[in-house]
Amino acid sequence: MMPLVAKNRAFKALHQYYTKRPDNPLKKMQSLIALCGKLVRILFGVLKKGHRFSEVKMLQDIPRFTEVSLAA
């Protein structure tokens, strides 16, 4: 998961949100575990149900998400 967070913009943005959110921030390892679960759900949807991966849809977990978050 750590290389994915380092290389993928969407996972990096979610990791930063989970660790720095004002309400109930997660520790870094807790965030990585939460992202592992998210990756499993994404892979299930892609492989089993034939859905396409969408960074924007994945980032809907972040309140008031904007495209600026992806650019960072």
pLDDT in tens, 5-60: 999 999 999 999 999 988 899 999 999 999 999 999 999 999 999 988 888 888 88
Band (61; pLDDT cuts 50, 70, 90):
confident
Residue 68, pLDDT score: 46
Tokens of 37: 């679960």
CA distance 34 to 20: 14
How many angstroms separate the CA atoms of 31 and 66, rounded? 21
Q: What SS3 class is residue 3?
A: helix
pLDDT of amino acid 66: 53
| Residue 70 structure tokens | 């992806």
Q: Is the pTM of this model over 0.85?
A: no
What is the enclosing helix (H) or strand (E) of 43? Answer: helix 28-47
